[in-house]
Amino acid sequence: MTTHACITGIGSYLPERILTNRDLEAMVDTSEEWIVARTGIRERRMVAEGEATSHLAVRAAEHALADAGVQPSGIDLLVLGTSSPDMIFPATACLVQEALGMTCPAYDVNAACSGFVFALHAGVTAIESGRASRVLVIGADALTRHIDFADRTTCVLFGDGAGAVVLEASDEPGVLGIVLGSDGSGAGLLKIPAGGSARPVTPGGARDASRFVQMNGNEVFRFAVNAIPTATLEALEASGHSIDDLAWLVPHQANQRILNTVEQRLGIPPERVFSHVETTGNTSAASIPLALDDLYTSGRIASGDLVALVGFGAGLTWGAAVVRWTKPRSTEEN
Ligand code: UT7
């Protein structure tokens, strides 16, 4: 009998501090009108002093484990997608493992904003191969730590957060099709050049643009509006389904204009494309599980619904998963 991976638990966490467009107006030459018109974002969350990616990940994981009714000791593997780890090493997954009192193997995956879909792929593969029965998959990022709040082209876009799912082995299909892609020829389009072995951060840490997120926004936009439809259609084909079968498309929440373009290109009605980018901004690897958890806790997704999760990001990377939702509709109000 074929073993499938099903999502049996989901949870998310946003840090408390809210950074509004008005706050940003006081920091750089921008305006509420420009940010809303060009991105759809009105506010985003930001980690507090002393708070790091692992703290967000732990909170999201606790919610997901409770939702699944699984004890931390029942998890066989922890995979965490992040590009803003607490430290270069150890892996943030190991810090999360310790905080949750787990003993299973734990590692990070860095595929930037596609990190959750890449981590999900690792979890699904482990379950389908029989090497694990229960996997905790987390997407977590605190990119505001790597943003130059004097650079108006990037500081208005990003926010912090975490989302997590518990995957369990099942006879019933859950994750039906999953595809990934990478194209290193676009590595220069979105990057944090310094802080790694190529350009170590120097003692004293002088203010230097290479320490912060740098992006060619127009090129990344062009890439996104091609990558999302292509990856979605590939994952649908791998699962034997079409756009019309989807209850929800849950894309990486980067920019409302990207989502609007994707809707047109895929010919999918806007009411079936989930967006809450207005209140989260771009939370990188956290974005897809945060969006999925919002759909779930607000009771807008029910058992049997077909959902496509699709991400894109630095690398360049992209990935999509088509999932048969197997949990009952949540009655909890968001
Ligand atoms: O997870 C993946 C992460 N990245 C993305 O998804 C980013 C994809 N790209 C985008 O979302 C868009 O390209 C941006 C939102 C980043 C920029 O929007 P745009 O419509 O492509 O604007 P633009 O870069 O073409 O800039 C238009 C103008 C420029 O001024 P000039 O040269 O026309 O005088 C910019 O300097 O807007 C200016 N501008 C701003 N003005 C006010 C750029 N940022 C701002 C700002 N406030 N925050």
Residue with tokens 């439809």: 229
**Residue 209 pLDDT class (50, 70, 90 cuts):** confident
- What is the position in ligand 1's atom list of the atom closest to the CA of 155? 48
**Per-residue pLDDT at 208:** 80
252 has catalytic annotation: yes
Q: Which residue has the higher pLDDT, 334 or 18?
A: 18
Please work out whether the CB of residue 313 comes within 6 Å of at least one atom of ligand 1: yes
- What is the position in ligand 1's atom list of the atom closest to the CA of 314? 2
The rounded distance, in Å, linking the Cα atoms of 220 and 189 is 7
Please work out whether the CB of residue 255 comes within 6 Å of at least one atom of ligand 1: yes
Domain with CATH 3.40.47.10 in the chain: 4-172, 176-324
Please work out whether the CB of residue 38 comes within 6 Å of at least one atom of ligand 1: yes
* Separation of CA 319 and ligand 1 centre (Å): 24
Please work out whether the CB of residue 39 comes within 6 Å of at least one atom of ligand 1: yes
Contact 165, 64 (CB under 8 A): yes
The rounded distance, in Å, linking the Cα atoms of 34 and 32 is 6
Contact 7, 323 (CB under 8 A): yes
The CATH code of domain 176-324 reads 3.40.47.10
Evaluate if residue 299 carries a pLDDT over 90: yes
DSSP string, 83-100: SS-SSSSS-HHHHHHHHH
- Which is the catalytic residue, given 94, 104, 113, 155? 113
Span 279-303, average pLDDT: 97
- What is the position in ligand 1's atom list of the atom closest to the CA of 215? 4
6 has catalytic annotation: no
- What is the position in ligand 1's atom list of the atom closest to the CA of 252? 1
pTM (2 d.p.): 0.97
The rounded distance, in Å, linking the Cα atoms of 99 and 96 is 5
Angle at 328 between CA 327 and CA 330, to 5 degrees: 110
260 has catalytic annotation: no
The Cα-based distances of 244 to 231, 295, 307, 327 in angstroms read: 16, 19, 11, 21
Q: Chain-wide mean pLDDT for the chain?
A: 96
CATH 3.40.1160.10 fits domain 4-172: no
Evaluate if residue 332 carries a pLDDT over 70: no
133-142, 147-156, 204-213, 258-267, range with the lowest pLDDT: 204-213
Please work out whether the CB of residue 220 comes within 6 Å of at least one atom of ligand 1: yes
**Per-residue pLDDT at 171:** 94
Contact 30, 196 (CB under 8 A): no
**Per-residue pLDDT at 331:** 75
* Separation of CA 274 and ligand 1 centre (Å): 23
Contact 164, 75 (CB under 8 A): no
